A and B are shown apart, each in its own frame.
Chain A
Amino acid sequence: MNKFRRIIHIDMDAFFASVEQRDNPSLRGKPIAVGGMHRGVVAAASYEARKFGVRSAMPSHQALKLCPHLIFVNGHYNAYKEASNKVMKILRQYTELIEQVSIDEAYIDITDYKPNEVTAKEVAIEIRRKIKNEVNLTASAGISFTKFLAKVASDCNKPDGYYVIHPNKAEQFVRQLAVEKIPGVGNVNKKKLNKAGIYKGEDILKKGKINMALEFGKTGVYLYNQVTFTHDSPVVPKRLRKSVGKERTFNENIEDHNEMLDKLHAIIEKLAELLEKKNIAGKTITLKIKYHNFVVNTRSKTLDDYISTTPEMYNAIYELLRMPNYPEEPVRLLGVQLSNLNINKNESRQLLLDF
């Protein structure tokens, strides 16, 4: 057992929706969707809503068609963040090897946590109990010896369950695994694979590495490595961010340039707060504009120096919006992204005059 790593994938159940139901008892047991009240997309759906086919990232009007008595609620991001922080704090009691993938999902590597005293399954059970008692939410857990298997496992008994894929059962499990369950396989890849007669893990094994590479390129190699457990990526404590950004979809399309600037200022203030908290600065700033007709346009500028404050970013964004010309069509979404990041906390920062 010791030569295998012990990895747990913790995945909160319908996270945003569950937080809303936790904090507002009148929503419990009802189909709810977070976000998308006026327009846009569902950010998260409760399990009651999922029964009707409502999914996150689904346009609201479509969700409403599937589930006419769907209740839309505004998101409370601070509450999500707070809950997420509490969960991460629980995980940190076991190890520092925590890779937080998103606000509601993380891998932990507990190979070195009391190796001869407790099993990974016992740890997962304890973590789930603590989350329920202390945060009043449910989480699903997947336990195995690679991140890939742990992730697949956490989905097996979701919600509010766990599943263990033991090393000597792994091959058998993977052989029966539908390809679309493999992380990274979306609709497009699924269709391609199915077309080539690949429906399950065993089909990939039958094909062999070389044929997978020839027919599907990088994706093929990736899939083969996953199902043979050769792609054994470690749990990286802190995921390196490539970019950080904020965006907003508006209830009504915006045509007035000053209004766009006001909205951008608000977005930038939020982004600056985040950057300050994470001690991040970036050199490349990107303005994202989505027009009423869903055409997306981005404008970027790379500066000589790292920026992170509201006035620095606003100045750059103001120019990006203005030059070469203001958007000529109504705008439904605006976003600001900072990339080319300086994540090294210890790097000194040239201070700027605050004009």
Chain B
Amino acid sequence: MPTYKAPLRDMRFVLHELLNVGEVASLPGYADATPETIDAVLEEAAKLTENELAPLNRSGDEEGCHFDNGVVRTPKGFREAYTTFIEGGWMGLACDPDHGGQGLPKVVNFVVEEMICSANLSLGTYPGLSQGAYNAINLHGTEELKALYCPKIASGLWSGTMCLTEPHSGTDLGLIRTKAEPGGDGAWRITGNKIFISAGEHDLTENIVHLVLARLPGAPEGTRGISLFLVPKFLAKEDGTVGPRNGAHCARLEHKMGIKASATCEMRFDGAAGWLIGKANKGMSAMFTMMNTARLAVGIQGLGLAEAAYQGARDYANDRLQGRALGGAKFPEKPADPIIVHPDVRRMLLTMRAYNEAARALAYWVGMKIDVAQKHPDATARQEADDFVALMTPIVKSFYTDYGFEAANLGVQIWGGHGYIRENGMEQFVRDARIAQLYEGANGIQALDLVGRKLGQGTGRLLRQFFHPVSAFIEETGADPRMGEFTFPLAKAFAKLQQATAWVAQAGMRDPVEAGAAASDYLKLFALVAFAFMWARMARLALDKTAGEDGEFYKAKLATARFFMTRLLPQHTSVFQAMMAGAAPIMELKAASF
């Protein structure tokens, strides 16, 4: 069974050498986040995830959650592991110190999230949902609600959920029917059914705080008439203790393909007391605070699972003796060579590795930009950072989960038939990874978000936050002969991305169907260029360090960069061509002919 070890060396490389994470310590409120402190935190997070969370991943998948008359029980060991997690203060890592949190930068949270997702994605969904609920209440809730709920959620004693989807209303939230009526006591009465509610009911915390989308009486049709409500499982007393049961109940538990230890619930609200979060009929805006947190977190799930699959596949490829190297035996004293000698096995391992390391670099860069967007004293710097995060969110969510699923599949492939056997643990990564392409906005929706919302925003203002640094980098390194093998392919792919961007903008304005047909290919093209940019930046750093004391690490970086530039980045030409073929080949076939 794969054993997870947090890739601390690579994480430190990205944080300290590539991104100079020490800069966040200069932002107001982050003075304690020195590189040494961040390293110490990550080392302890590694121990926690490797020793407490990872050992429960397989057993949690086998056992799943139990449902009995409205009560949900998590698998054996989950309560103890969750208690260890919250007693260590990890739930509050990035929460406000005023709420008992540790107030560490979001970028540190991203790194810890990656470790959690690698170690035990199912268990990670519980604190993950809480983080989104915390952010929404903290940003949009009244002072009273914040004072009552935020410290409890930051401590992990209470958890959170997002209750959006209804049986007839998934992607199109404008169709929701859950209603909110005045309760006469300052609270609202929420009535309706919600489905696919992760962590909707469980035995890990003493209370669960549901954030529920509902309609007020007479609210406008569609998404302009949606409001967000805080609906606790148990009503909270003023002193912060748990009061009487509220009318929020789990009606059933879904049986899923993966993340079986994460309780996915159908929730029934029977006139449950709820409190408005944000303004009436402006629930979508408050909800997107949660959704954006969640979308980036889901992208990191893709990375986390891909890393876990890579580690399992790498170790197996080094151990498994089968056949001989095509160029002659590498280990003649053994009955066969380890399968890592075979080119096709190496191709698969390098594909996983090249995506993972670029994804890690880009994700942590986005994490640092969130810190800048929230804390920088200069408004322009905050806006620019926020633009970058907004632009990258659909790319991180969509591409990371698509390649994460591909990487999990490659992991099984490297294990051969043994990968298909449950007890070996590799097939679980495939099943767990599949959901990440679906929830928090299916990946096709992410592509529409990129093309329909993000590209045109502020007449390309968001795009500039990525295009300008790439142009500057190409200009800076274009004359460096050592960088040619990295800068040249980057420049070529970047030119295609610019061309594709102009085409999508023009064609989309003419006919939105064209933009819709181009969206997924465009997002992939964008992601490949973003990864190429990260690889070129990493290669530039590594070139000067191969002779140093950790030379092998930097040589591996360069080798992986070369693999990405020559074996993965060329995909950009095919997605570019497919996209430029336009909507006609997709739309020609009549629906009745399918």
Are both chains from one complex? no
